[in-house]
Structure 1
């Protein structure tokens, strides 16, 4: 018995037991927690959401702006061919974002839950293993980019035409080599919010965007380096953001979480939990990538049958996809902002605060969605023109497609926040199901079916027109399913509050 006890004492950490780590001594009610973290369970919920949401929303917009900035500069410098190259590369870049969110959001969700339980060391092990996973996955991506056959296969999957392929290949290879900067700069950035410093999290992302924008202007418009210059500007900007994130966790003093080399040793149970909690975020982005692959294929197919042509169809709907993604990012920002609040309070068994945080988050996302919808409908020509689309017929087509695709935007926030709620509270399976409804289960079948059906029902629309009608229909169906899940969850929370059931995460 004594030998067994001694063996257990030598283990670096038993993840099934309470472990607060070294006392921070900043919260008099709980010396194992930092006051910045503990306030998530005591301060005003609307005030906390506002404090966390503003930098989180701006941060998501900043992160999404990388793709938009690339497209704007390439469109202005190279016209439709530059936009088409960015459109072809976009699904693969979304896959990279999905991987970053798989690792970063999963690790951050686990860290928030552990901090809510007062287990600081476990939270720091989550941070360390998140960085480790980022390094390993980035190395794999970089090695894969050295193989031309892999890149060409991805471009073929993304329906690159012969004219667009060389530009897309050059752009994508550079992005692959710099993936480590995106993976850490974006994924690990979320931990800064959980550490109670949302404004610092925003600053680390702003640094990258400012650098990327300035270098895009220099490399693309002034030096004429084209797609290579745009890709290089992007990864240099991401590297600046990555450096700022690592500096916070390594060199900043008196922070609730620190990055320690010893906690980067792989813990298989922690890695498994990180991946399971992050899979919902991955599913959202991966689903978006699948949708983009499908759309690119169908754009080439139906665009070739229309007066617009395949390359212009790629350029036009590529703009619509980027604007659509950009308008959804503030809603994702709300979901990301309330994630540490949900996780902390759920881990601390403060169920009433969990419920209030969810509803305040849904309300905020709905208001933002309505505002973004209004902006798109008031200034569609200006938005389209900013990407370098000037041909009258193509402008009209792009504007109409933009309005139709974003028809359900005011209500999409409910679906995004509702899906993220289950991830934040340690229920990844439910979150994955809800994530897949919007991106895969409903949208992909509609993309294939509507071009065959809609022209027969409404002859004024072509197969190409039908592609952008699929998104609002899929949004409606996924929102309906989310409503059902949330109703059932509210009943479960009442039982949890009364002690009739126990939470497991």
Structure 2
């Protein structure tokens, strides 16, 4: 898990580089995903299954604002990787400074808007019935920490673009471990309930922010925080935005999907059905961590070598990343197909004095989650091609194909499917929309990636 210098991205063997970049990225994503998973298990066991549904309502709103930082981070990281590959240090520094200013400006504005319209946003995202009050408590507190989350996401991608995956991994581990410890203290020991869960999340964001600041002020970073680069330059912000819009659009579509799914499922089965989706949503974040890790590790390798015009190495990195990700995805698939019932049971508490509503909700969730989970993950072995293909175009700065391929699965296929199929198949129509969208998006991505390799990398 050693860090590598920017120059090593263009000289070391691709397999070695991908392992060095992907392993810490995978570990970081694993810990972060475990945080979300265990956080939900704590909430489900110590507060109740309705509380899991409440968090599921809030996450797409807060994560969308946080994803603004990720979008700025990934868009700028693509520029920084290619600038370092071409030995343009000044452009890398100016891009980094603009990322900081742009992230602070846009996320603070979004948080102000989010707090102003809290009573409208929560019901719109499915926070209805008994879900509303718990969701409002969680949402209001967590939103205060979202600017820190955005800066963390931005900084993490920049750290990785420098070839320092170990530090990026630590930055992901800190808030995850901190959140779990604070969850235990604030929910279980001090009995603060939903407020405790929210403050644990917010404080953990700030802890990560302090570490990110330390990294860029230390000698570990080739990029320094300097006031002369903080003044926003339109041309740089435009380039960051054109690439970052890929990530932002993906998260915007994810937020729209949560909105649609929570409302469609609430209409089909009430709060209990939303809780089923909440558990599956946590597994979508957690189970695919090794595939996402390979994708994250692939980005700086492809970007640097493309900037250095080493196209054979770019092509090799594509094939190697797809192979590793496909193997890992297949292993994940096997586990989810074998143990869906046991996974669902982890989220359900059996504390004394549970209400009839909570008992009924738990029974419904335990009965319906396993079959739904098998459908949702049915196409997991083939998703590696789709993820790496879309990431490649983003890494080399081709914003339009990156955007279209990123939106292909969730926007062009999945959303129409969940709007149409449930009308004929009920809740089954919701669940089978996942593998159908995966299959169609993989075919489209494979076609365009093959064409790109043949025309521009051969």
Q: Normalised by the size of structure 2, how large is the TM-score?
A: 0.94
Distance 1:229 1:133 in 2: 31
Counterpart pick for 2:257 among 271, 291, 296: 291
Q: Given that residues 138 and 180 in structure 1 are in contact (C-alpha distance below 8 angstroms), is that contact kept between their aligned partners in structure 2?
A: yes
Contact (CA 8 Å) 1:389, 1:395: kept in 2 or not?
no
- Post-superposition Cα deviations, 1:10-47, rounded to whole Å, max 9, x if no partner, equal xxxxxxxxxxxxxxxxxxxxxxxx98111111111100
Residues 255-264 or 468-477, more deviating: 255-264
Aligned partners of 2:46 and 2:349 also within 8 Å: no
Q: What is the CA distance between 1:465 and its match in structure 2?
A: 2.3
Which residues in structure 2 correspond to 1:240-389 (within 5 Å)? 240-250=207-217, 252-253=218-219, 255-303=221-269, 310-388=270-348
Give the CA deviation at 1:254.
Answer: 5.4
In structure 2, the residue matched to 1:37 is: 6
Matched, 1:423 2:394: yes
Give, in angstroms, the shift of residue 363 of structure 1.
1.0
In 1, distance between residues paired with 2:164 and 2:365?
A: 45
Structure 1 residue 175: deviation in Å? 1.4
The reply on whether 1:93 has 2:62 as its aligned counterpart is: yes
Cα distance in 1 for residues equivalent to 2:27 and 2:4: 25
How far apart, CA to CA, are the structure 1 residues paired with 2:41 and 2:202? 17
How many Å apart are 1:186 and its aligned residue? 1.9
Say if 2:192 is the partner of 1:225.
yes
The equivalent position to 2:74 in structure 1, one of 86, 105, 110, is 105
Among 196, 200, 207, the alignment partner of 2:167 is 200
Query: 5+ unaligned residues in a row in structure 1: which ranges?
Result: 1-33, 304-309, 455-462, 498-505
Structure 2 equivalent of residue 164 of structure 1:
131
> 3-state SS of the aligned residue for 1:74?
helix
Q: State the structure with bigger RCO (CA 8 A, min sep 6), 1 or 2.
A: 2
CA contact (8 A) 1:141 1:179 kept: no
> Is the 2:322–2:385 contact (alpha carbons within 8 Å) kept by the matching residues of 1?
yes
Secondary structure of 1:188's aligned partner: helix
Q: Which deviations, in whole Å up to 9, do the C-alpha atoms of 1:193-232 show, x marking residues without a partner?
A: 2222211111121111111110011111111112211111
Distance 1:35 1:388 in 2: 43
Q: Distance in 2 between matches of 1:143 and 1:317?
A: 29
1:443 counterpart = 2:403: no
Distance in 1 between the 2:67 and 2:432 partners? Answer: 25
How far is the alpha carbon of 1:389 from its aligned partner?
6.3
The one-character-per-residue Cα deviations of 1:296-345 (angstroms, maximum 9, x if unpaired) are 11011111xxxxxx011111111111112222343222111111111110
In structure 1, distance between residues paired with 2:399 and 2:327: 26
Tell me if structure 2 keeps the 8 A contact 1:94–1:286. Answer: no
Cα separation, 2, equivalents of 1:35 and 1:414: 26
**Number of residue pairs matched?**
445
**Whole-angstrom CA distance in 2 between matches of 1:235 and 1:358:** 37
Q: How far off its partner does 1:275 sit?
A: 1.0
**Residue matched to 1:46:** 15
TM-score, normalization: structure 1? 0.85
Residue 375 of structure 2 is aligned with which of 382, 404, 411? 404
In the TM superposition, what are the counterparts of 1:439-478 in structure 2 within 5 Å?
439-454=410-425, 463-478=426-441
After TM superposition, give the deviation of residue 392 of structure 1 in Å. Answer: 4.3
Q: Which residue of 2 aligns with 1:183?
A: 150
How much has 1:145 moved relative to structure 2?
Answer: 4.0
Q: Are the counterparts in 1 of residues 390 and 402 from structure 2 also a CA contact under 8 Å?
A: yes
2:187 match: secondary structure: helix
Deviation for aligned residue 1:65: 3.6
For 2:76 and 2:59, the matched residues in 1 are separated by: 25
2:454 equivalent to 1:487: no
**After the TM superposition, which parts of structure 1 deviate over 4 Å for at least 4 consecutive aligned residues?**
none
Q: Which moved more, 1:239-248 or 1:89-98?
A: 89-98
Question: What's the offset of the Cα at 1:372?
Answer: 1.2
2:273 aligned counterpart, secondary structure: helix
Unaligned runs of 5+ in 2: 351-361
Three-state SS of the structure 1 residue aligned to 2:224 is coil
